[in-house]
Amino acid sequence: MTFAPLKDVRVLDFTSVVVGPVATWRLAQYGAHVIKVESPEGDLMRGLGGLSPTGQHSGAYLHLNRGKQNICLDLKKSEALGIVERLIGESDVIVANMRPMALKRLGLDADAVLSRHPDKIYCLISGYGADGPYSGQPAYDSVVQGVTGMAGLALARDGVPAYVPMLICDHVVGEIAVGAILAAVFERNATGKGVSIEIPMFETMAGFVLQEHLAQKSFDPPVGPPGDLRLLSPHNKPVQTSDGWISFTINTDPQVRAFLKVTGREPLLSDPRFATVAARAKYVSEWFAVRGAPLTSKSTTEWLAIFQAADIAAMPCHTLETLQCDPHLEAVGLVRFEDHVTEGRTAAIRSSIRFNGLFPPTREPAQPRGWDTSAILEEAGYAPAEVEALMSSGAAVARRPVERENGHAPV
């Protein structure tokens, strides 16, 4: 039996790009009925996320918008806001990551929605929250990486600041939003009352950085400088082998002894600087210089076999090309291919979470803008003539491919 605990939960999705779509994608994975509201201009991620056969469904857009119905509305038109009001009435959860002032102008901010619908759960994912001098400013993942000190961690380690080359803040905050929404669903089920949630990206990610790197300054007075010196070591990187790179971690005393033996560094076994966890914490720089030294005497495959035999956590350091061919991922079927209505053969990434031993359904592919507009309006109670009038006014847009060109249907 399919595990879909949110099968009776309806979500109205006013999100775009990455952080919000991550959250609503996960809710869809748990069985929620998600309706994505998209503007006629379209979600920026349709093109920003990379090339696609039609230019309308980047890989990132496809992966983050599975399992959602799509209605295309022009919220500048009053008729469209009337549609939204009806959809809110039918929804349990509203998720938005538009700027707070834009939502307020549309009458779609939390206060306005909950005043009209006090039983709803409203989740706003914002850049900087409702208070403080940064409130209302635009936020993207790289900007958040900078202001939270994440890029500055690379500065401390390498002498040059650097972004994590993926939208890590968007993904982390999106998943945190899901947890907050589920807690709110639990609360509403118990009390019958709605819940307003706000999740600021800056504070959320700054909290993560400080949890790890406030470190010695967690005490008053401080017992040393801020920063986990292990993670900030310039040697805390994958290690070069004769034919590539390998990633490994050695934390416990037995692991360290095994590592020194199998790498031919037995003389260091008697070095008091490396004998215990406490000693290695004191001599972090010296220890990481040892463990980060190149291992070019053998290949990655040879070192993996040696480390695994010694019970040392080690794996190959993949590239984007080799990750897709990882034997474990191939064996468990993380990625499969399917036919998309406009893009042809496309990859689909399943959930990594099992429930009762089974993965939840991957759900339907992400669709063109307005793919479900007519069906959603009819389900909301609009008569065919009313649907046609909304289309004619431009308040609602329905787009369906009618024929394929070169193997793909026009959007």
Is residue 407 over pLDDT 60?
no
- Decide: 323 and 382 in contact? Cβ < 8 Å: no
**Confidence (pTM):** 0.93
Q: What integer is the mean pLDDT of 297-309?
A: 98
Residue 348 binned pLDDT confidence (cut-offs 50, 70, 90): very high
Residue 408 binned pLDDT confidence (cut-offs 50, 70, 90): very low
Structure tokens belonging to residue 140: 């993207």
φ, ψ dihedrals at 317, nearest 5°: -90, 100
How far apart (Å, rounded) are the C-alpha atoms in residues 179 and 181? 5
How far apart (Å, rounded) are the C-alpha atoms in residues 29 and 137? 31
- Decide: 263 and 312 in contact? Cβ < 8 Å: no
More confident residue, 2 or 352: 352
How far apart (Å, rounded) are the C-alpha atoms in residues 186 and 209? 29
- DSSP-derived letter for residue 210 is H
- Decide: 197 and 122 in contact? Cβ < 8 Å: yes
Percent of the chain predicted with pLDDT > 70: 97
Q: What is the mean pLDDT of the chain?
A: 95
Domains of the chain: 10-207+333-397 (3.40.50.10540), 239-316 (3.30.1540.10)
Q: What integer is the mean pLDDT of 386-407?
A: 77
Please report the pLDDT score of residue 173 as a whole number.
Answer: 98
Is residue 411 over pLDDT 80?
no
**Residues ≥6 apart with Cβ < 8 Å to 94:** 11, 12, 14, 88, 113, 120, 121, 122, 123
Please report the pLDDT score of residue 1 as a whole number.
Answer: 67
Is residue 121 over pLDDT 60?
yes
Q: How many residues does the chain have?
A: 411
Alpha-carbon separation of residue 82 from 380, 386, 390 (angstroms): 11, 12, 11
- Decide: 368 and 69 in contact? Cβ < 8 Å: no
Torsion of CA 327, 330, 334, 336, to 10 degrees: 150
How far apart (Å, rounded) are the C-alpha atoms in residues 405 and 410? 7
CA atoms within 13 A on the CB side of 138: 2
